Amino acid sequence: MSTQKRLIVILHCVIVCGLLLIFTGHTLLSAQWLTELGPTGYVLGAACIAVGLICSLPTKIYLTILLMRREKPD
């Protein structure tokens, strides 16, 4: 497998992990038992969403640019 294909696979994995973190954070914030933790529970859910966004959005932009360069006619 070439390095560019390996990089694309790694970027896809990072995007999926970011989306899973966003989904986990949303689930944590909407769970009833989390309100018992008070502000700590909300910080935990928000932190999951923030890390998920940090993982998924820049990676998606870089992956789009990489794929556009790959499809560019010579």
Question: What is the chain's length?
Answer: 74
CA 44, 45, 48, 53 dihedral sign is: negative
C-beta separation of 7 from 66 below 8 A: yes
pLDDT of 24 reads 92
Domain that holds residue 38: 3-71
Band of pLDDT at residue 74, cut at 50, 70 and 90: low
pLDDT of 62 reads 83
Secondary structure, 3-state, 14-60? HHHHHHHHHHHHHHHHHCCHHHHHCHHHHHHHHHHHHHHHHHHHHHH
pLDDT in tens, 26-71: 998 888 777 788 888 889 889 999 999 998 888 888 888 888 887 8
pLDDT of 21 reads 93
Residue type, 18: G
pLDDT of 17 reads 92
